[in-house]
Amino acid sequence: MKNLLKVIAVLMAVLMFTACNNGGGTGGEPTDDGKLKIAYSVQSLDNEYFVTISNGVKEYAESLGYEVEITNGNQDIATQVSQVENFIEKGVDIIIISPVSDTGLEDAVKRATDAGITVIAANQNFGGSQAFVTIPEYSLGRALGDACGKYIAETWGDEPVDVLVLDYPDIEAIVPRGDGMREGVLAYAPNANIVQSISANTVEKGTNAMETAIQVYPNIQVVIGCNDAAALGAYSVIEAQHLAEGNDKFYVGGMDGTSQALDLIKQGTPYKATIDINAPGTGKILVDTALKVRESGPIAETIEIPLNVVTPENVDQFMQ
């Protein structure tokens, strides 16, 4: 009888040890409370585009019964590294990262994947990611550049027009976006004079860039931005200083299809274009991709988000 009790005790200890090791983000079963845990480190929650994606991730994942944590990288790679380390400590099952930089996360990501956590990249890739969901950068820039170039050709004909480009070469992966913007403009409007390309990816930077540029080039009538945030910053200066007053030709274009940009396009303001990149639906794509990786392993092919040019002619299709 004593021997039987010893055997039972040993079996119970083994079972308890196994259960403890299966809890948390091991990449096997969900966490010990029965819910899969998803964490998303966002490049910046000051950007409406990322807010929309974050809401999409949270709403879709929670509809599936999962727990979700969203953190703000606040444009700082060290902050994101710290967030990933915290996710590992918390034992999450999936980490999604829209990185501030395409370098600097490798060590933290390796620690996560070594722990069995699924890690995928969104918007920009980084070493160690198990899948990459993004917009095709050159195609994105070219879509806006083409739309802008066509507008210039139709509106000004062969007359020269000064153009300000707000791009973001600070991150190597985004450089093709700026190239596409400039090349698209000049392909359809070779008379366009691109007076400056200034780095700007936030409302504040877009505002500062526009204020600086018009001091040197007061005849700017066209502004295109690498995202709606930068373009909206420039637009605020145009409005505040009445630069487009009495001039219905003035053109501002951005990317991301944010609600504020869509509203301005709908209202018939100088904000005349944005590129819809399905921000609301991207959250679902990210979660589904992560679940697929968790189930079947890494995905080598880049998963591209479709693009749509939004203008006053079709803006109603994209209004929520």
Using an 8 Å Cβ cutoff, are 140 and 307 in contact? yes
Q: Residue 46, Cβ neighbours under 10 Å: how many?
A: 15
Cβ-Cβ contacts under 8 Å for 85 (sequence gap 6 or more): 108, 111
Residue 303 to residues 7, 189, 246, Cα–Cα distance (Å): 52, 32, 44
Section 141-154 average pLDDT? 98
Is the confidence at residue 268, as pLDDT, over 80?
Answer: yes
Share of the chain above pLDDT 90, in %: 82
Which of 285 and 31 is assigned the larger pLDDT? 285
Dihedral class, residue 91 (left if φ above 0, else alpha if ψ from -120 to 50, else beta): left
Section 133-152 average pLDDT? 96
Entry pTM: 0.73
State residue 27's pLDDT score.
41
Is the confidence at residue 184, as pLDDT, over 80?
Answer: yes
State residue 18's pLDDT score.
35
State residue 170's pLDDT score.
87
State residue 265's pLDDT score.
98
Is the confidence at residue 7, as pLDDT, over 70?
Answer: no
Section 228-251 average pLDDT? 97
Dihedral class, residue 27 (left if φ above 0, else alpha if ψ from -120 to 50, else beta): left
Kindly report the average pLDDT of the chain as a whole number.
Answer: 90
CATH number for 32-135+279-306 (one of 3.40.630.30, 3.40.640.10, 3.40.50.2300, 3.10.180.10): it is: 3.40.50.2300
State residue 32's pLDDT score.
52
Q: Residue 26, Cβ neighbours under 10 Å: how many?
A: 15
Domain boundaries, the chain: 32-135+279-306, 137-276
State residue 76's pLDDT score.
94
> pLDDT of 11-68, one tens digit each?
444 333 333 333 333 343 454 556 899 999 999 998 888 999 999 999 999 999 999 9
Is the confidence at residue 229, as pLDDT, over 80?
Answer: yes
State residue 28's pLDDT score.
39
Cβ-Cβ contacts under 8 Å for 46 (sequence gap 6 or more): 74, 75, 202, 203, 229
Interhelix angle 175-188/137-156, rounded to 10 degrees, is 30
Check if CATH label 3.40.50.2300 holds for domain 137-276.
yes
3-state secondary structure of 165: strand
Q: In sequence order, what are the beta bridge partners of 256?
A: 276
Residue 281 to residues 226, 285, 319, Cα–Cα distance (Å): 20, 7, 14
Is the confidence at residue 172, as pLDDT, over 90?
Answer: no
Section 288-307 average pLDDT? 96
Dist. CA 129–CA 121, nearest whole Å: 6
Dist. CA 188–CA 175, nearest whole Å: 21
How wide is the angle at C-alpha 219 spanned by C-alphas 143 and 207, nearest 5°?
65
* Domain 137-276 in the same topology as domain 32-135+279-306: yes
> pLDDT of 27-40, one tens digit each?
434 545 568 999 99
Interhelix angle 77-90/106-114, rounded to 10 degrees, is 10
Section 197-211 average pLDDT? 96
